[in-house]
Structure 1
Amino acid sequence: MTIPSPCFADPLGGLSDQDWNELAGPRFYSSALWSRLCALAPGAVPGGLHVDLPGGGRAAVPVAAVRDEPNPHCRWQDQLARRGLPVPPPRGILIGQRRGYLTHVLSTPGASRAQAARGILDAVRSMREPERVNGSAPAARIAMFLTTPDVRLLREAGVDTMPVALSTDAWIEIPPGGWESWLDSLGSRHRARRVRSEVRRFARAGYRVWHRTLHEAHRDVARLMARTEARYGRHVDVDALSRSFRRQGELAGDRAEVLLCGKEDGAALGLCLYYRWQDTVYLRAVGFDYENLSGAAEYFNLTYYLPARLPGIRWLHAGIETPEAKAGRGATLRPLWLLDLSEHSVLSGHDRQVRRHNHAYLTGLRNSSPLVAGALDDELWQPFCEE
């Protein structure tokens, strides 16, 4: 089967938003909106790969053709080199989104998941790159930030390489009873007292909190994110960042929401940018004017405590990195994997080496703190981490 390059004609491979969202379901980072937002980022040709299934229905996955990916999280050659593993060529097809860091094999509700995985694998291996990134050397086919169930599906479909542990993926469940039930679910009186104390400190600081769309607040978002980057020695062009957020806000509309805090009649001093999709808040970005904060747990209030109290919310998706801070707010830490789907992968025959890395990575997480160890979803980690 040959998949023609028109799957790169637009971010959804020619499907309508409605048809794509039927496949994506509750998975926001696989949605049509997120695919279109990712397409605004430079450095790759975005697309959508979809195939009809022999048993009826359709399977799909977001893809991007890359030659030299600027986003360090998605530079598979660097990720593997850092882990001392064989490195595929940097040019090729990324299976998954270039932002958001959560990839699923999508399929029509009720369709065979095994058929979906086989169809996607065959299509990925057969697809052509667009002329803009094509070259003479063999190109890689790399899926990044896959969940354990999707890794299992693709391996059963014929992938013979071992998945590489990339990161933790943090999910915070808000029980049906809401805020108070969530505090009770933290499993420790000390943690619940700490959260209550941080909420009281924020309230005593006299902050005003207001809610805007990203389109309305894009200048504040850019300014405060640039302040945060500067704190870590990274320079950001505020005007360019503001233009980028303005475009995102125009496209996302009221889906892209911003919580801002500041002193009465003053400029915003902190922000949290997030997206609501069904019963889940997807936390995207934070920014603070640190020099003018009151030291009142502004980060945790804007990032976790205020979103957790939004009506109808059952989950906060806190994403990758900083596992201990997220575990301290009740997160479960699930694994995300890199899986090389190339027919002749450089990782073939290196299962023991990959397992050693996965085992060491999981052991490092367990040993980093009791909080992190207790937050790991062992059932999802162990299949590819046991030596």
Structure 2
Amino acid sequence: MHHTPGGLRLETATTLDKVAAEDWDALAEPEGFYLSHGWLRAVERESGAAVTYLLAYAGDRLVGGLPLYEIEHEHNKFYARKPRLDQMGAGGEWGVAGSHRGYSCGIPRAAEYADAVLDLLLDARARLNPASRTGSLFLFATNRTAAALHRRGAAVDFDCGDATLHTGGLDFADYCGTLVSRRRIALKSEYARFLAAGYELGRQRLGECLDEAVPLLANLQAKYGHSTGTAEIHRTFADQAATLDDRSVVFTARRAGRLVGVSVMYEWRGTLYARATGFDYPALRGAYEYYGLCYYLPIDYMSERGLTALHLGIGAYSAKVKRGARLAPLWTVALADDPADTPRPAPVDLTSWRDDHGSAVAPEDWRHPWTM
């Protein structure tokens, strides 16, 4: 335990087991599901990394937290550090802070203590780093996180876009009414074809269909050249089922009772987060199964549940924008322990994103001091 002049105290932990989920999630809400208690607990269970949580308290109240990861083996190329460091022109040894999985990264903190908490947690991070450590990388950092760390001297570089479809709680038919005519017609046609294909459609908890779903999830990974094996995929989603089953909803398509399509999502704070999709490809009928399970059925579910946003994540931006998604940037942030080691990435030109995706790219989300 460490006391600070500002009256905050610092504790460390290697698990969130003893931190109440409601206390942590109240702080994590602005950063989203991938900083939530349940998600981080699932990530704890993965092999290849060890975590230390820095926890800031005002009296007995939790007012901030920062996960720090020691990566022993990174088996997912989307979270590889070297390509990002090379792009930033950074050398040395860098740890990972904020989040190790999921496409959002931040520092949960109470608004009334925000600056003091950030100073406390970031100073503690530097003190706890090994002497050989150059600093910490925040992967897939949100605008909020990037801005706060940039003000504290961190380097910020563009990583990718992040897609969210805002439905306002409308069902599919009413949501289509908000789109331009050609898109409205296309979406209605796709959904009608999917519904007419004769699949037995359903919803389940992840734990109820885990063993059936994993081979389909592995099929999609293999289709796109990922080397993740079926056993590893099973472990990952079993870990998620162990901590997040009550937030899970799995949209399923079956033929004669056999699972042929699946979309795994999580419900959190008014948003449905799309996490993974899988198919038995030879059993499909060419009926827009991907969009049916990942967009159209979820939109109707969201309307029933009072959810207003469908988080679709990274990649396949044109397809997402055509269906009404908006894009926000995600950043790689490098916070060096010694300011002399701070990378100096070149300002990135993001005009192509506005040119390619038009109104889906809001200027206020994409213009920042570090891009100038």
User: Which TM-score bucket, shorter chain as reference?
Assistant: 0.7 to 0.9
| CA deviation after TM superposition for structure 1 residue 286, in Å | 0.3
State whether residues 169 and 309 of structure 2, in contact with CA within 8 Å, keep that contact through their aligned partners in structure 1.
Answer: no
What is the alpha-carbon root mean square deviation over aligned residues? 2.7
Question: Per the alignment, do residues 196 and 80 of structure 1 end up closer, same or farther by CA in structure 2, a change over 3 Å counting?
Answer: same
Tell me the CA shift for residue 91 of structure 1. Answer: 4.5
Q: Mind listing any 5+ residue stretches in structure 2 that lack a counterpart?
A: 4-8
Indicate yes or no: 2:219 matched with 1:227. yes
User: Is 1:336 aligned to 2:330, yes or no?
Assistant: yes
**Equivalent of 2:70 in 62, 65, 82:** 65
State the alpha-carbon separation in 2 of the partners of residues 47 and 21 from structure 1.
18
Deviation at 1:71, TM superposition (A): 2.6
Distance 2:238 2:142 in 1: 31
Q: Identify the structure with bigger relative contact order (alpha carbons < 8 Å, sequence gap 6+).
A: 2
Other structure's SS at 2:112 match:
coil
Q: Does 1:178 align with 2:171?
A: yes
Report % sequence identity. 27
Rounded to whole Å, the distance in 2 between the matches of 1:267 and 1:235 is 26
Q: CA deviation at 1:363?
A: 3.1
Matched, 1:206 2:190: no
Hey, what does 1:252 align to over in structure 2? 244
Match of 2:84 among 74, 79, 90: 79
Q: 1:376 — aligned with what? A: 361
Partner SS for 1:25: helix
The superposition leaves residues 102-135 of structure 1 with CA deviations (integer Å, 9 ceiling, x where unpaired) of 1122123x41433333233222222246xxxxxx
**In the alignment, which residue of structure 2 is the partner of 1:95?**
97
Counterpart mapping for 1:46-65 below 5 A: 46-52=51-57, 58-65=63-70
Kindly provide the amino acid, as one letter, of the partner of residue 330 in structure 2.
L
CA–CA distance in structure 1, aligned partners of residues 50 and 101 of structure 2: 14
Q: Does 1:121 align with 2:122?
A: yes
Corresponding residue SS for 1:97: coil
Question: How many Å separate the matches in 2 of 1:77 and 1:150?
Answer: 21
Match of 1:298 in 2: 289
Deviations 1:89-109 (A, max 9, x none): 3452x112221121122123x
1:237 equivalenced with 2:241 (yes/no): no
Matched with 1:133 is none
Q: 1:322 to 1:316 in 2, by over 3 A?
A: same
Aligned CA distance change for structure 1 residues 67 and 213 (closer, same or farther; 3 Å): same
Confirm or deny: 8 A CA contact 1:340 1:347 kept in the other structure: no
Contact 2:39 / 2:240 at 8 angstroms: preserved in 1? no
Deviation per CA, 1:137-165, whole angstroms, max 9, x where unpaired? Answer: 23421112221122222233x2x233111
- Aligned residue for 2:177, secondary structure, equals helix
Q: Residue 38 in 1 paired to residue 43 in 2? A: yes
Change (3 A) 1:28 1:232: closer
In the comparison of the two structures, how many residue pairs are matched? 362
Q: Describe the SS at the equivalent of 1:321.
A: coil
- Unpaired stretches in structure 1, ≥5 consecutive residues: 130-135
Contact 2:10–2:57 (8 Å) recurs in 1: no
Q: TM-score, normalised by structure 2?
A: 0.88
Q: Give me the whole-angstrom Cα distance separating, in 2, the residues matched to 1:5 and 1:78.
A: 33
Tell me, yes or no, if the aligned pair for 2:159 and 2:332 is still in contact at 8 Å.
yes
Answer whether contact 1:53 1:115 (CA < 8 A) is retained: no
Amino acid at match of 1:339: V
**Which secondary structure does the structure 2 equivalent of 1:194 belong to?**
helix
For residues 49 and 62 of structure 2, what CA distance do their matches in structure 1 show? 29
Matches within 5 A, 1:311-322: 311=304, 312-322=306-316
38-47 or 238-247, larger mean C-alpha shift: 238-247
CA distance in 2, matches of 1:68, 1:5: 29
Report the equivalent of 1:25: 29
| Alpha-carbon contact 1:50-1:59 (below 8 Å) kept | yes
- Mapped to 1, the partners of 2:62 and 2:261 lie a distance apart of 45
Change (3 A) 1:239 1:149: closer
More strand by share: 2
The structure-2 alpha-carbon separation of the partners of 1:103 and 1:89, relative to structure 1 and needing over 3 Å to count, comes to same
Match of 1:132 in 2: none
Q: Is the 8 A contact 2:155 2:335 kept in 1?
A: no
Conserved? CA contact 1:175–1:314, under 8 Å: yes
TM-score (normalised: structure 1) = 0.84
